[in-house]
Amino acid sequence: MRVTFLGTAAARPTVGRNVSALSVQREGDLVLFDCGEGTQRQMMRYGTGFALSAIFITHIHADHFLGLTGLLRTMGLQGRTEALPVYGPKRSGRILEQAVHLGLERVSFPVTVTELEPGERVERGDWAIEAFAVQHGVRAIGYALQEDDRLGRFDVERARALGVPEGPAFGRLHRGEAVEAIDGRMVHPHEVVGPSRPGRKVVYTGDTRPAPSVVEAARGADLLVHDATFLREDAERAHETHHSTAEGAARVALEAGVRRLALTHLSARYAELPHLAESEAREVFPGAVVAWDGFTIEVPFPDGEAE
């Protein structure tokens, strides 16, 4: 699983940072979280490709969705025909529909817009994306990408010792089906398969104050991507505008017990001084990193093993 930061600035672009967008490549699926202006060019620049299976918008402040119009037109010009779902919070549908259809040119492939409430899930086979509540002063949600639990480890040597014939029987046994051994006895999954193993979890807050709902959504996440618009010296401003400081984001990560924390959505006043936010966050959560445009994070399985 690869997370690519396409835009890490708050409100407006700076020389070094574009506005909000984050792509997640999960095996054969590519999804996009937020789509600020210029996202299509960032996707070209950082090589994510345009084969999106879904777009998830956190809220309808312009720096989080204004890039939709251009991105969809670019995908159409590249010959896309597959339908593309776009998701957003309640009461975002009308504006997102306008962004989809803005201009004289028609989008050449079907685009559906669906509103989500906190707690609603978009199922995608063996993983899902769940919306959760945030605190941003407008209708806004964050998203938690959660894989299903994986099968437990299969003990090949134990299976052989029990007389299970190698081949398809191994696979059936691993998937939970009892099989017949060479001597005629039945071998059951619990005899050769360990306990299930957790899948990966990536949480993206969008814009928010530190909030109990975010802590709960991020509980045990492998990666938390959190709003860090301000430094603690501007904590009052952060509270007034329903944003987080770097320190506040770190406290959320600590309380939620996440493995990694990446800070994004930096105010232009110190967007080019990321070490300040990083130092502040690391006082609370060692290892916190301030993301930059083009920064990628590979998210391993919690047990460190490949699938």
- 163: left (phi > 0), else alpha (psi -120 to 50), else beta? left
Determine the pLDDT at residue 306.
Answer: 55
Domain boundaries along the sequence of the chain: 2-150+198-298, 156-191
What is the C-alpha separation between 249 and 235, in angstroms, rounded?
12
What is the Cα gyration radius of the chain?
Answer: 22
In the annotated binding site for Zn(2+), the residues are: 59, 61, 63-64, 136, 207, 265
Can you list the residues of the chain whose pLDDT is less than 50? Answer: none
149 included as an active-site residue = no
- Among candidates 120, 84, 82, 118, which has minimal Cα distance to 99? 84
Determine the pLDDT at residue 208.
Answer: 98
CATH ID of 2-150+198-298, from 3.60.15.10, 3.40.367.20, 3.40.190.10, 3.40.718.10: 3.60.15.10
Q: Which of 34, 63, 222, 227 is catalytic?
A: 63
Determine the pLDDT at residue 86.
Answer: 98
What does the block give as tokens for 8? 């890490």
- CA count, 13 A, side-chain hemisphere, 23: 25
In the annotated binding site, the residues are: 59, 61, 63-64, 136, 207, 265
Determine the pLDDT at residue 7.
Answer: 98
Give the helix ranges, DSSP H, for the chain: 39-45, 62-65, 68-77, 93-101, 156-161, 168-174, 212-217, 235-240, 246-256, 274-282
Determine the pLDDT at residue 175.
Answer: 86
